[in-house]
Structure 1
């Protein structure tokens, strides 16, 4: 694993050095483009001057505050890197430019069918937020930085979630999102892309698995309810036993309890009242006889 990381860091360093070399090479004077390039540049200026003011409508470009323009002259980057915001001039026939948007872009990762570590198939989709950090590198080092970032996000989502259990995917979304963000940011750094945030939107489970999990949860709750009911019955039995022991110590307490029950029944305005006859009274009458 360490050797693999070292190789990736070495590749990233090489890509950065190439990008910076291309930028430094663009800073060379016009003599670096050769004699033919100087002649073409001279004729381009002549055409621009001779066609004023019509050439101004074609050669003057405006870049917004959130944009940068990467200009190529005869296939070479101009000195100073990306231009903007503001107005800049494009020489006809020998210069071309590409606008790069620096605003944060968000896109949905399409739902991916993923086989988790515990052999469960789930469908997961996510949202990725990124922006172009270096306009020159995003044009010089990769053909289409936006499309490459989208494809890499899909691959990273499948690779990361494939090493997790279903319980980890459902409970540790924040940790997985942070790990994906750091992995994507490291991979897209040579492209001039900064991945700001990754969020997992939804995890869809198969219908059969949902039913099995619901049945498991229902069974667990029923078992817990039965245990709680049994504990309640046990506590109630203990309380009744203690109450019976207390009443048995004093026969008058039982009579008072009878009267209290009669009072409770009569408060509901019932027409029929059943009054229990205490067995102790019969025992006392038998003793007198």
Structure 2
């Protein structure tokens, strides 16, 4: 009788410790609701196994403490199952929590923001152009209990969903929209992914389009088009320059015709520029007035 009287207070103390470490001051209310929905009666067999597990803990003290007490970091949560059912209270942690051997298991969930690359996806755009597009997705676990209980692998499922969402969204865009409106596409994709992964306990924080690769033939065609546009622009600029030069030359001719001295000065400047080039032969043009005199004598 004395042994039984000593074991009862010890079991009560362990029960209090278990309740205290499993009920931290801060818990996600959605975790609690999910646990309450899954936490039903474990039946007579479950209570018997729980009682035997407590006896095992008491009989193996203090060695059982090294097995029963677990620690999770500040950025982690532990989702605890007893005989396959979620325990009331949702996820445990951060800090220390208690696990009954043989009948309880737990899964650690990292709450930090994670990132993954979406592999290049071959997409047929709305204007029938095949492009290869890749992206990067930033996400985190917002509900540890739901991410474990509602989906087999939340991280892998989010990756696959990001690939299909990228293909579906870009398939409704034209090529010029994909090339010039990446921010809007990234924002729309982030909203679609966030809504779809809410039931998985996942929060998609950011999506970025990394690169858009065009086929080689299309790249050559676009390069030829850009080169033709540049050549056309250069011709327009040259034509405008010639037009302005002709106008300036016309104005200069009108000014020179009004002043014979200006014509002689221009004549001397031309001779000076010819001699400055170190030519061995210098041609002296005959003034127009001399030619006019010769023409008058012939007549």
What TM-score comes out, normalization by structure 1 length? 0.86
Distance (whole Å) between structure 1 residues aligned to residue 34 and residue 74 of structure 2: 25
Aligned equivalent of 1:192: 201
Q: For 1:36, which of 45, 55, 71 is the aligned residue?
A: 45
Alpha-carbon displacement from aligned partner over 1:29-79 (angstroms, at most 9, x marks no partner)? xxx433332222221111012112222222221111211110011222222
Aligned equivalent of 1:4: none
Aligned equivalent of 1:119: 128
Q: Is the 8 A contact 2:32 2:90 kept in 1?
A: no
Task: Count residues in correspondence.
Answer: 270
1:135-154 correspondence to structure 2 within 5 Å: 135-154=144-163
Aligned equivalent of 2:36: 24
Aligned equivalent of 1:91: 100
1:118-267 correspondence to structure 2 within 5 Å: 118-267=127-276
Deviates more, 1:32-41 or 1:211-220: 32-41
Distance (whole Å) between structure 2 residues aligned to residue 284 and residue 88 of structure 1: 121
User: How far off is 1:283 after superposition?
Assistant: 3.0
Distance (whole Å) between structure 1 residues aligned to residue 113 and residue 51 of structure 2: 40
Alpha-carbon displacement from aligned partner over 1:11-32 (angstroms, at most 9, x marks no partner)? xxxxxxx97643234678xxx4
Distance (whole Å) between structure 1 residues aligned to residue 31 and residue 53 of structure 2: 28
Distance (whole Å) between structure 2 residues aligned to residue 193 and residue 258 of structure 1: 86
Distance (whole Å) between structure 2 residues aligned to residue 20 and residue 67 of structure 1: 17
Structure 1 pair 21/82, CA: closer, same or farther in 2 (3 Å)? closer
Alpha-carbon displacement from aligned partner over 1:178-200 (angstroms, at most 9, x marks no partner)? 10001000100111100011111
Q: Is the 8 A contact 1:19 1:140 kept in 2?
A: no
Q: Secondary structure at the match of 1:225?
A: helix
Q: Secondary structure at the match of 1:79?
A: coil
Q: Is the 8 A contact 1:60 1:89 kept in 2?
A: yes
- Which runs of no fewer than 5 residues in structure 1 stay unpaired? 1-17
Deviates more, 1:125-134 or 1:81-90: 81-90
What TM-score comes out, normalization by structure 2 length? 0.83
Structure 1 pair 184/42, CA: closer, same or farther in 2 (3 Å)? same
User: How far off is 1:286 after superposition?
Assistant: 6.8
- Which runs of no fewer than 5 residues in structure 2 stay unpaired? 1-29
Structure 1 pair 158/20, CA: closer, same or farther in 2 (3 Å)? farther
